[in-house]
Amino acid sequence: MIGQVGLATTTGLTQAQARDLLGRHGPNELALHRPPGLATVVARQLRDAVVVVLLVAAAITAAMRDWPDTAVIALVVLLNTTLGAVQEIRSQRAIAALAELTAPHATVIRGGSTAEIPAAEVVAGDLLELRAGDIVPADARLVPGAALSLDESMLTGESIPRLARDEEPISAGTVAVRGHARAVVTATGRNTTLGSIAGSLDSQAAVPTPLQRQLAGLGRWLAIAAALAALLVAVLNLVTGHGWETSLLLALSLAVAAIPESLPAVVTLSLALSARQMAARGVLARNLAAVEALGSVTVLACDKTGTLTEGRMTVTELWTPTAADAARLALLQAAVLCNDACQNPDGRTTSTDDPVEVALVESARGAGIDVPALRLSAPRTAETPFDAEVAMMSTTHLLGDGSTVRYLKGSPEALLSAHPPAQAGSGVLTEVKRLAGEGRRLLAVSREIAERTELLGLVALADPVRPQAAEMIAGFRRAGVRPVMITGDHPLTATAVARQVGIVTEDGDLTVLPADLERHAGDIHDRTAVYARTKPHQKTAIVSGLRERRAIVAMTGDGVNDAPALRAADLGVAMGRGTEVAKQAADVVLTNDDLGAMVHGIAEGRRVADNIGRFLRYGLSGGFAEVLVMLIGPATGTGIPLQAGQILWVNLLTHGLPGVAMGTENAGPDVLSRGPRPVRQPLVTRAMLGQILLLASIITGVCLTAAGFADGSPQSAIFLSLIVAQLALALALRPVPVRRLAANPALTTSVVLNLGLALAALYWHPLQILLRTQPPSLVTFLIAAAGGIAVAAAARALRPQGRSPLRQRHRDEA
């Protein structure tokens, strides 16, 4: 392929060649599965356990020639299947849109120009530009003379990076951890080494998320309870002289009614809508479960540079051992030579250049240094790329007289400790303390000639604190989320910034250095506000330590070295400017690098949790009420309280559109002024169960009272009362005042529509025949209306109160 294209390893493919290859060979993607078609989605809905029960009931009624009930069941199946299919397709589209936004990118050389493109558009023959932090987008071969250190653990399991040199092949999915190089793509998509592995994994099922496991566990308990209730109803009907066919049909119908089958649709719709809302604010959830997890976060562990600060470095001060201009010039020249920024022939900055190194180049240019000419006069002959573990880098250069010089650049502590210069003394340490105390980022620069190391000086850089950083941190605190800074910067620098933004608020907050982690292990959760000079493995240890203390940790990061900590956190949050490694390791990506947008994500996560809890109160209260009516009704002399078709019609009107509309409910006014929901808390708590049983008892009492005073059919009275009470409950459970019904038009519309369908069932002759109903009396209407008001009043009184962040924090720590 490469030979056919005639690629030059300096200019790459032309855009026309790339388009032609992409059209012929397809995108560089591993997952080429198309979304399931309509027939597949419908078939999946028909395999649902509730629908299977309904189909069995339909078969029984058809065998009994009970055509009205058969028609009702068929209608319920049709509407449930349609609603479920529509919701699944909408959710798939929402998820696909989010996946498109978080797709990885690659840097290629095309027509001699550098371009960043979606990784899916990489083709065989492309010339890749790879730097530390990039994920290799396709199988490739290094160009002659190139060297790159690669993490191949995802393919080989070997944790130690491998140094690839001189035309060696490299594989898609591996990670560049040191150095930079160019490589020519040899295979893409399913033809890569990673693609062949992915092909063998297609049949493996995905691991369920915690929310999915909770829903599955709740579903099992509900199924058992519904089965026992249905069995009891069947036995009671048989004992009272009804036939087995009628008893079985009633039991099956009640089992369907007792289970809130709209719950999966409510959960999926709530998560998908929240994910879309978050995406509009620059918060991309890479999976829907991350949306719900946001609402449970108790600790935010964030970096300093680019997160709390603007990530726009400028040189503010130079310190040299002597005050001579020549010394300052030598310092800047060394900082430019031991530097990987602006390496293009035209000397322009690229999106992959480190902001600190760009600042050094700009400072040198401001001092009159011709950077390209300087680099040509002292060509680099060797390098040791920057390593976060040793916090320094070095380069070796050939001088005009044939001699060589080695420049070293890194943190003052690391450089002065590993390569102590001959003239270093207390003066440099005093300057380090002074500049770091002012919140500056510091670099030390040394020169090594003939094994003699000379300190050229210190460079102080400032990264301005974001104007909104203090308010952002205050917002997290108001939401009951405790902010913690984890940074590689000097302790004094980190503390100065932390005080400016409000992370350090009192003298008791500790600044812990890595060496002190053992001594301060007990303070990790409750007192430590800043961790300084941390290395990658220490970030992971800190996150794990917080989690061991029952904190739910969100960790932000943007570099390769942040990936392990992002994985270790309950919720990894990558910055949009970050490396592909960080983005792929994270659960959430902040596309605009605005951490403050996460506050809105937290609100959305809590909104989802609130909506799920609200629907469970609603659906289970109604379902339990129907069970109680069917169990108690015969003892009050009402006979069979409801026919099978009537039960299903009540279930359709109450658990259908209104239930799904509850998933679109807006957040309550206190969503960001109370503590987070503990992630280990069950979906149905004991307190919630008590409220559900009380509401179910009130609904049951209203229905049986209406049946007792009915002038006509007791069944019609119960039928109307059940629908009115449950729809009133749906409105009452909203988190806003009742007068603001229009705030959720979907719910209001569905309630009005279903009240109309309930009246149609009572007054429209075809439905009267189908459902065996009769027009109710005025007394029945008054009792049903009064019962709806009573249920709504009880629900408003029983609304869960917000938890204060302080109380919640103490509960979590306990």
- Identified catalytic residue from 303, 340, 558, 570: 303
The amino acid that residue 18 corresponds to is A
Q: 317 with 436: CB under 8 angstroms?
A: no
Tokens 């493995």 belong to 537
Which positions ≥6 away from 150 have C-beta within 8 Å?
136, 161, 162, 163, 164, 170, 174, 175, 176, 177
Residue 509's φ and ψ, nearest 5 degrees, are: -70, 130
Q: Across the strands, what pairs with 382?
A: 396
3-state SS of the chain: helix, strand, coil percent to 5?
55, 15, 30
116 phi, psi to nearest 5 deg: -100, 120
Cβ-count burial of 291 within 10 angstroms (0-12 exposed, 13-18 middle, 19+ buried)? buried
What is the arrangement of strands in the sheet containing 553-557, beginning at the earlier edge strand?
A: 283-285, 588-590, 571-575, 553-557, 299-302, 482-486, 528-531, 510-512
SS3 per residue for 59-105: HHHHHCCCHHHHHHHHHHHHHHHHHHHHHHHHHHHHHHHHHHHCCCE
Pairing of strands 482-486, 528-531: parallel
Give the span between the Cα atoms of 421 and 423, in whole angstroms: 6
Q: What angle do CA 624, 628, 629 make, to 5 degrees?
A: 115
Is the separation of the CB atoms in 608 and 273 below 8 Å? no
Tell me which residue has tokens 């303070």.
523
Question: Which residue, among 391, 386, 354, 358, has the nearest Cα to 489 in the 3D structure?
Answer: 391
CB-based contact 21:121 (threshold 8 Å): no
Sequence-distant (≥ 6) Cβ neighbours of residue 179 within 8 angstroms:
131, 132, 147, 148, 149, 383, 385
- Write down how long the chain is: 814
Other beta carbons within 10 Å of 493: 25
Q: Are 727 and 734 in contact (CB under 8 A)?
A: no
* DSSP per position, 327-351: HHHHHHHHHHHS--SS-STT----T
- Residue 792: which of 736, 725, 745 has the closest Cα? 725
β-pairing, 528-531 vs 510-512, is: parallel
CA–CA separation, 458 and 317 (whole Å): 8
Neighbours of 641 (CB within 10 A): 27
Strand boundaries in 303-422, DSSP class E: 314-319, 380-387, 392-398, 404-410
- Residue of 110, 148, 141 whose CA lies nearest to 15: 110
User: Can you tell me whether residue 582 is helix, strand or coil?
Assistant: helix
DSSP 457: E
Token couple for 456: 């050229």
Q: Within 10 Å of residue 382's Cβ, how many Cβ atoms?
A: 11
Q: In whole angstroms, what is the distance from residue 628 CA to residue 697 CA?
A: 8
CA quadruple 571, 576, 580, 582: dihedral sign: negative
Does 20 qualify as catalytic in the annotation? no
Strand partners, 392: 387, 410
Tokens of 291: 């949306």
Catalytic residues: 303
